[in-house]
Structure 1
Amino acid sequence: MPEQTQIELAVFADYFQFYLHDEVENEDFGALWSDEAVERLLAVASHSVGIGTMRNVSVPVVISVHAQAPAADFDEWDMVNECSISIRSGRIAVSGCTDYLPDARRIAVAPGSYRVRVSYSGLDHVGADGIEGDDFYRVQLWPQAPGTLSVVKAREALSR
């Protein structure tokens, strides 16, 4: 595997979410979006990860696949979560929840277990209209044995 593969996307985050999932798995996220999952902007299943967003439009996303865990640069992010995902098919699909799956962007990876780090920025910089915003989502993956979901950096409460 190369040291790093990276793609930049604008993903349609219909219903304030988008997914990374094994292209051959069909997990139901309806039950996974608990109040806690909504708060941390992350819902996790065995072969899928649902990433919550602050806007219900296309959002900027950078996804990178690394040979090993990338450096911890948590200070510059509003929030950081980590979880695991199992990819059997060797292809990760990236899609909004209402996207047509055959058209979803694919990322080729070796089959196996991956650690997923989702870093969120600009969460407090979304316009009142919910359309304009500076929110940004970075997803990093690397091979690693399955582990537990972890809130690496919690979002600070908004002062109103």
Structure 2
Amino acid sequence: MRRTPPADDVEFQQAEHVTQASLALPSGRLLISMQEFDDELPRIRLTPGTYAVRVYSNGLHTISEDGLDGEDRYHVVLWPMDEDHPAQVLKRYPEPLPGG
């Protein structure tokens, strides 16, 4: 987690796809899971509030047609913010995603 928004730096330039949205965390607990929910998955404790979430995606060309397998990777960055903002695509992957 950061205190301020990341700069549009090398990571942004190298990412294939970048999205950003706001996330309300009134409980201050964040669970990240790609496909399954399990009560035993670890939660990340944060100060309750609203956060901006930016997701840098790479390896999207390796995703299988059903969207379940691939060598795709994601880097998630959070920082606190005062209000909700709509989700937006900051950098669009040039091809339609498999299964999408």
User: Number of residues paired by the alignment?
Assistant: 92
Which residue in the other structure is 1:140 paired with? Answer: 77
Instruction: Select 1:152's aligned residue among 90, 93, 100.
Output: 90
Deviation string 1:49-78 (CA, Å, 9 cap, x unpaired) is xxxxxxxxxxxxxxxx11111222321011
Deviation string 1:128-155 (CA, Å, 9 cap, x unpaired) is 7964x33101111100121111110011
The percentage of counterpart residues that share the same residue type is 33
**Counterpart mapping for 1:36-47 below 5 A:** none
* C-alpha RMSD of matched pairs (Å): 2.1
TM-score (norm 1): 0.51
Structure 1 stretches lacking a partner, 5+ long: 1-64
The letter for the 2-side match of 1:112 is G
Q: What secondary structure does 2:5 align onto?
A: coil
Q: Answer yes or no: is the 8 Å Cα contact 1:95–1:105 preserved in 2.
A: no
Greater percentage in strand: 1
How many Å separate the matches in 2 of 1:153 and 1:104?
A: 30
Instruction: Select 2:54's aligned residue among 112, 117, 129.
Output: 117
Structure 2 stretches lacking a partner, 5+ long: none
Which residue in the other structure is 1:90 paired with? Answer: 28
Larger RCO (CA under 8 A, 6+ residues apart):
2
Which residue in the other structure is 2:5 paired with? Answer: 69
